Amino acid sequence: MSFQTTLRRARAPIRAAALASAPRSATFARAAFRRYSTEPEPPKKGNTALYIGLTAAALGVGAYFIYTSDESPLGVKATYVPTREDYQKVYNRIAEIIESASDAGYDDGSYGPVLLRLAWHSSGTYDEQTKTGGSNYATMRFNPESGHGANAGLDVARNLMEGVKKEFPWISYGDLWTLAGVAAIQEMAGPKVPWRPGRVDGFTENCTPDGRLPDAAQGADHVRAIFYRMGFNDQEIVALSGAHALGRCHTNRSGFDGPWTFSPTTVTNDYYKLLFEESWVWRKWNGPKQLQDKKTKSLMMLPTDYVLVQDKSFKKYAKAYADNQDLFFKDFAAAVARLFELGVPTNQFSEEPYTLKSTLD
Ligand code: HEM
């Protein structure tokens, strides 16, 4: 049995007892235990390490309640509170991983787009009415959410982040995934996106039902229903959609095919420009309904992208972003920052959002 397993098992009855006696709701009480993820480093192999590990585990049993519980008589929360510099280190590591895609021969030479999609899909499950879903619990780690059709292909991004989690075990998955979304945008020459830590790891029971993420085959009513449920307005819907300047569709993930722009690893307002400037026709192919540009036939738009120039209210904002990249950057950064905090109770944040340094600075 590994040291971590021993420790986890030893902690379990104490955690359970404390939960049972906690005066608040079970979910919140559980969340409070994981304000900061404090998994220890894996021990070195060998007997000495084993003895040290077992002794530490025994001490940990007693100390766990005192040091990591909100119910602690000492009122002390986590043993290790990471600093901004710690988060910058995680950011820098993610930036290296984003770059490593070119050596790996992945897509267009960047893991940025798929990491941004992970951050968005983990946040975009939020329901403002029931206050469920969102980035707080990183429930896409669990079945059934990992198997939801909309999340096809995101195992690539989750696996990449698993390596970072091993290196920085104190970070919660929700913080890690949203930080990766921020790094993706900034490292692909996008705007600075304010971010702050505070998300906690949840459980399978926190998984959201299938159907909370948008279906690309539908129209404006559906897009509004999905994003209004999260609490966004038309302007924010259009700004967020500009993320499709990045990345591409994969036939083995969504069934759709191709990139939206000629520069899928750089944040630009080209997505809006192309929507207005190109002639878009339905592609004749053996796949789901999607549009292609008449001129080069190498770009694509989803039906939900095309509604941005068909719907009067959406079109107004799309035109403004096509005409003004600075405006798009400003509104995109603000909407993404809000997206990544959906579902996180504000009392879990201990500070104001701040910006992390990009390696392009
Ligand atoms: C109506 C709303 C949206 C729909 C229907 C939609 C749909 C899709 C689909 C079908 C794909 C292709 C997945 C694949 O085959 O790999 C995709 C990719 C992507 N989406 Fe969206 N999306 C929406 C909104 C957003 C938002 C709000 C963001 C971020 C803020 C975003 C970021 C991305 C990125 C970066 C990719 C590229 C992923 C890659 O290259 O692997 N999308 N989206």
* Residue ending a domain, choose from 16, 44, 68: 68
Which residue out of 126, 154, 244 has the highest number of ligand 1 atoms within 8 Å of its CB and is therefore the one to mutate?
244
- Residues 58 and 101 both lie in one domain: no
- Residues 91 and 199 both lie in one domain: yes
Assigned domain for 359 exists: no
Assigned domain for 77 exists: no
CATH number of the domain to which 342 belongs: 1.10.520.10
Residues enclosing ligand 1, CB less than 6 A?
Answer: 113-114, 116-117, 120, 153, 214, 216, 223, 240-241, 243-244, 246-250, 253-254, 256, 302, 304, 336
Query: Is 260 a residue of the active site?
Result: yes
- Residues 208 and 92 both lie in one domain: yes
Assigned domain for 122 exists: yes
Tell how far the Cα of 136 is from the centroid of ligand 1, in angstroms.
20
- Residues 190 and 103 both lie in one domain: yes
**Residues of the chain by 3-state class (helix, strand, coil), percent to 5:** 55, 5, 45
Which residue out of 118, 120, 301 has the highest number of ligand 1 atoms within 8 Å of its CB and is therefore the one to mutate?
120
Assigned domain for 73 exists: no
**Span 329-343, pLDDT tens digits:** 999 999 999 999 999
Query: Is 121 a residue of the active site?
Result: yes
Q: Which atom of ligand 1 is nearest to the CA of 114?
A: 41
- The secondary structure of residue 259, as a DSSP letter, is E
**Residue 197, pLDDT above cutoff 90:** yes
Assigned domain for 355 exists: no
101: Cβ contacts below 8 Å, ≥ 6 apart: 107, 109, 110, 111
Assigned domain for 358 exists: no
Instruction: For residues 311-321, give the mean pLDDT.
Output: 98
**Span 63-97, pLDDT tens digits:** 444 344 444 445 445 568 999 999 999 999 999 99
Residue whose Cα lies nearest atom 11 of ligand 1: it is: 249
- Residues 97 and 243 both lie in one domain: no
- Residues 205 and 342 both lie in one domain: yes
Q: What domain range is 8 assigned to?
A: 3-68
- Residues 316 and 226 both lie in one domain: yes
- Residues 320 and 344 both lie in one domain: no
- Residues 277 and 343 both lie in one domain: no
- Residues 196 and 344 both lie in one domain: yes
DSSP string, 74-142: T----S----HHHHHHHHHHHHHHHHTHHHHT-TTS-SHHHHHHHHHHHHTT-BTTTTB-SSSS-GGGS
- Residues 236 and 206 both lie in one domain: no
Tell how far the Cα of 58 is from the centroid of ligand 1, in angstroms.
47
**Span 17-35, pLDDT tens digits:** 333 333 333 333 333 333 4
CATH number of the domain to which 323 belongs: 1.10.420.10
Q: Which atom of ligand 1 is nearest to the CA of 107?
A: 40
Of the listed 120, 170, 177, 260, which one is catalytic?
A: 260
**Residue 225, pLDDT above cutoff 60:** yes
**Span 233-276, pLDDT tens digits:** 999 999 999 999 999 999 999 999 999 999 999 999 999 999 99
Assigned domain for 225 exists: yes
Of the listed 120, 121, 177, 280, which one is catalytic?
A: 121
Tell how far the Cα of 96 is from the centroid of ligand 1, in angstroms.
23
Count of the separate structural domains present in the chain: 3
- Residues 95 and 125 both lie in one domain: yes
Assigned domain for 54 exists: yes
| Cβ–Cβ < 8 Å for 292, 299 | yes
